[in-house]
Structure 1
Amino acid sequence: MNKTFKIYAVIFIVVMIILALFEVNKAETTDWRKNFDINQKSPFGLYVFNHEVNTLFKNKIKKINQTPYDYYQSEKKPHNILVIEEDIDTESWGKILDQVSEGSDAMLIVSEMPKEVSDSIGYYDSQISFEDKNVLKLTDKKYQNDFIHLDKFPSGRGFTFIKPGVEVLGKTVEKNNSDQANFIKIKFGQGNIYVHCEPLFISNYYLLKRGNVKYAQDIFSYLDDRETVWFVENDAKVSQFFLRFILSNPALKYAWWVLLGGLVLFIFFNAKRKQRIVPIIEPLKNTSVDFVKSIGNLYLQEGDFHDMMAKKAQYFLNKIRMDLLIDTQNLDEEFAKKLHLKTGKPIEMIDEAIKLIKKAQDPYAQVMKEDLAKMNKLLDEII
């Protein structure tokens, strides 16, 4: 490692330590944007609502990441429809209104009444107050003890024009302004449309406050106890990028960029280095087979067939003891019977093999080349 490389390495390490200290001491900022995203844990995301929605709707909720226009291509039986701050096209709103007219109920939790809906059911103007606090209450007496205090960026929206026949179910109460409707019910065909113009009540920040869940339960209790279809466009927009988890975590993201920076510097400082030639090392040859052939040729040249038969017999009997667990002390009828049962070979073949083994063990027996070949063949067939 040359001197220049050491200097740059030290500079890089010092810079990384300084950046790490800045990162550690940096105050964490809270994202107060009203994103209403089911995957966001920020105060005004819907992460908590998304995880508790099955309980709120008694496991009768069905999340759809298609547009209503695509989903309602086939006929559906009457059901509940839930839309929360989604950007829905005109054709899809038409499909939703068609379903409501045929007996479904739609719950729209939106800060502004969609133009496609207001044009169909009658114009509803809305006004905005600039109070920094207000209270959401329901008009039904049985819910009079259930309300929510909004103390963080309330929209202050409410309906200023209510046509006859529209039922006001909830209102916004402010200290310096008159009460204004924020939750209404409109009869449309055979179904109903419910509109709540303050989505903050289902955000993470307010659902996690004690007692506020009851208000949300009251709102959704106006829907019939049946299947509810929730159109969740954001659910289809979750990034599938393989680094999504790393880049979403500040600490892991910082470590990832440090790693990439280190790799770039390493490649830069080592670009001119040349790889030395790696010598080719021939693998060691297996000479066992050649050795065996040499020993075999030596025995053939000597013509000592008796010794070769004895060694073959000794090897065979040792294999019988080790593999078949048969005692080879006495090569009698009992031995032949056990060998026949364990190998399944004909008893005649085994008797002939035993005869040749005994001949090989007899130091005074006359052994011919043919005897060696015959015994070798028999023993190889037996085991």
Structure 2
Amino acid sequence: MNKTFKIYAVIFIIVMVILALLEVNKKETTDWRKTFDRNEKSPFGLFVFSNEAKDLFKGNLKKVEQAPYEYYNQYKKEPHNIVLIENNIDKESWKKILDQVAKGSDAMLMASRMPKQISDTIGYYDSEISFEEENVLKLTDKKYQNDFIKLDKFPSGRGFSFIKPGVVVLGKTVEKKNADQANFIKIKFGKGNIYAHSEPLFLTNYYLLKPGNVKYAQDVFSYLPDRETLWFVENNSKTSRFFMRFILSNPALKYAWWIFLGGLVLFIFFNAKRKQRIVPVIEPLRNTSVDFVKSIGNLYLQEGDFHDMMAKKAQYFLNKVRIDLLIDTQDLDTDFAKKLQLKTGKPMEIINEAISLIKRAQDPYAQVMKEDLARINKLLDDILK
């Protein structure tokens, strides 16, 4: 086991121990926000009601995720029931709902703050009627006198005041220090009825799970006829589409994800230190001898000094003869010509012509043409082949 691996192992164990201690000592926090979300299991969500609503309405409940305006433009409905619980509904959708009620449908509206379109249309005013931390919801009908619900966690304290004639009070908020205030009313509208309840909190998980509280909810909805009921719910497509939402919403997966990211960062950090820097590629030095010779040759050619070039060629040739052929080149006479012919095997005519040109190259006063330079260059190269 090398040293680097040991470091990784120690760091990983330390991180795991810290996370374990945090998990053990972590205090569960309760989300007391009034979300009224049918999928939310927090105290003030509607998860329990959403699951039990089918039995509450005897199988006649349909959850609609479309806005009422879109739904009623798409479907023509016979008289039915409409349920709305703390919905954010646009003005045109309210017009569609009121139009359905006028034709014989019944609407059950449950909201701590009633929309102005509804209050102005049916004639009542909702306001804050209580500032107590606890109150009791009761129905006015004598047959429901024994069914009530006690709100001991964040009641809205809202109700209805300045009620116009024709509005029937079905439920009240009862307090010890204050007079009873209306919180559940019924209004005749066209051929149908509108039921408005100002305290939807009794439908949340926290209260429905308490013994006996379900009966109050059953009593409230018993005012609706036994027929098809449409519950307009918030569209779940508005929820986050972040690809990590499932992992981050699950504590175990969330911790695993953060451990993975931490380990990846540590791996990159330590691994990067071990990597050698990139060795730059050094190109080898180029052999520029040929280029140099070409440059010198071009220089002589441009200057037109054929005599000097011819002399250097002759000097180079004689040097090669002395070194390679071991022939003395001090005297370029007949004896030299014979030895060169014997060593190279070239015809005597070529040998004699080459010697003649060499002598001309060595004579500083001789006239040399371009053709002479080309001829001596060819003859000397042929002899040394």
**Quick check: 1:182–1:196 contact (8 Å CA) kept in 2?**
yes
Q: Which residue of 1 aligns with 2:183?
A: 182
How far off its partner does 1:153 sit? 1.1
The aligned runs of 1:67-216 (5 Å cut-off) are 67-74=67-74, 75-216=76-217
Which residue identity lines up with residue 38 of structure 2 in the other structure? I
SS in 2 for 1:233: coil
CA distance in structure 2 between the aligned counterparts of 1:226 and 1:17, rounded to whole angstroms:
59
> Is the alpha carbon distance of 1:150 and 1:195 closer, same or farther for their aligned partners in structure 2, counting shifts above 3 Å?
same
CA distance in structure 1 between the aligned counterparts of 2:182 and 2:129, rounded to whole angstroms:
12
How far off its partner does 1:121 sit? 1.3
Which residue identity lines up with residue 50 of structure 1 in the other structure? S
SS in 2 for 1:253: helix
CA distance in structure 2 between the aligned counterparts of 1:69 and 1:269, rounded to whole angstroms:
60
CA distance in structure 2 between the aligned counterparts of 1:127 and 1:242, rounded to whole angstroms:
42
Unmatched runs of 5 consecutive residues or more in structure 1: 275-383
CA distance in structure 1 between the aligned counterparts of 2:113 and 2:42, rounded to whole angstroms:
22
How far off its partner does 1:102 sit? 1.0
How far off its partner does 1:248 sit? 1.8
Q: Which residue of 1 aligns with 2:59?
A: 59
Q: Which residue of 1 aligns with 2:259?
A: 258
What CA deviation, in whole Å up to 9, does each residue of 1:15-68 have, x standing for no partner?
332132122211111111111111111111100001001000011111011111
- State the aligned residue count: 274
Q: Which residue of 1 aligns with 2:360?
A: none
How far off its partner does 1:241 sit? 5.1
CA distance in structure 2 between the aligned counterparts of 1:234 and 1:44, rounded to whole angstroms:
18
**Quick check: 2:129–2:181 contact (8 Å CA) kept in 1?**
no
C-alpha RMSD of matched pairs (Å): 2.0
Which residue identity lines up with residue 206 of structure 1 in the other structure? Y
How far off its partner does 1:243 sit? 4.2
How far off its partner does 1:242 sit? 5.3
> Is the alpha carbon distance of 1:3 and 1:128 closer, same or farther for their aligned partners in structure 2, counting shifts above 3 Å?
farther
Unmatched runs of 5 consecutive residues or more in structure 2: 277-385
Q: Which residue of 1 aligns with 2:44?
A: 44
Q: Which residue of 1 aligns with 2:337?
A: none
**Quick check: 1:126–1:161 contact (8 Å CA) kept in 2?**
no
Which residue identity lines up with residue 149 of structure 2 in the other structure? I
**Quick check: 2:124–2:160 contact (8 Å CA) kept in 1?**
no
Which residue identity lines up with residue 67 of structure 1 in the other structure? A
**Quick check: 2:202–2:208 contact (8 Å CA) kept in 1?**
yes
SS in 1 for 2:73: coil
**Quick check: 1:46–1:203 contact (8 Å CA) kept in 2?**
yes
**Quick check: 1:104–1:190 contact (8 Å CA) kept in 2?**
yes
Larger Rg: 2
SS in 1 for 2:94: helix
CA distance in structure 1 between the aligned counterparts of 2:126 and 2:233, rounded to whole angstroms:
26
The answer to which of 254-263 and 142-151 deviates more is 254-263
1:25 is the counterpart of 2:25:
yes
What CA deviation, in whole Å up to 9, does each residue of 1:280-303 have, x standing for no partner?
xxxxxxxxxxxxxxxxxxxxxxxx
How far off its partner does 1:186 sit? 0.6
Which residue identity lines up with residue 199 of structure 2 in the other structure? E
Q: Which residue of 2 aligns with 1:34?
A: 34
State the TM-score, normalized to the length of structure 2. Answer: 0.67
**Quick check: 1:128–1:155 contact (8 Å CA) kept in 2?**
no
CA distance in structure 2 between the aligned counterparts of 1:22 and 1:235, rounded to whole angstroms:
33
Which residue identity lines up with residue 43 of structure 1 in the other structure? P
CA distance in structure 2 between the aligned counterparts of 1:261 and 1:254, rounded to whole angstroms:
10
The aligned runs of 1:219-230 (5 Å cut-off) are 219-230=220-231
Which residue identity lines up with residue 166 of structure 2 in the other structure? G
CA distance in structure 1 between the aligned counterparts of 2:135 and 2:52, rounded to whole angstroms:
25
The answer to which of 67-76 and 256-265 deviates more is 256-265
How far off its partner does 1:120 sit? 1.3
What CA deviation, in whole Å up to 9, does each residue of 1:234-271 have, x standing for no partner?
43434555544432222322222212322333344345
How far off its partner does 1:226 sit? 0.6
**Quick check: 1:38–1:234 contact (8 Å CA) kept in 2?**
no
Which residue identity lines up with residue 53 of structure 2 in the other structure? V
CA distance in structure 2 between the aligned counterparts of 1:167 and 1:52, rounded to whole angstroms:
28
Which residue identity lines up with residue 25 of structure 2 in the other structure? N
Q: Which residue of 2 aligns with 1:3?
A: 3
CA distance in structure 2 between the aligned counterparts of 1:50 and 1:163, rounded to whole angstroms:
34
SS in 2 for 1:73: helix
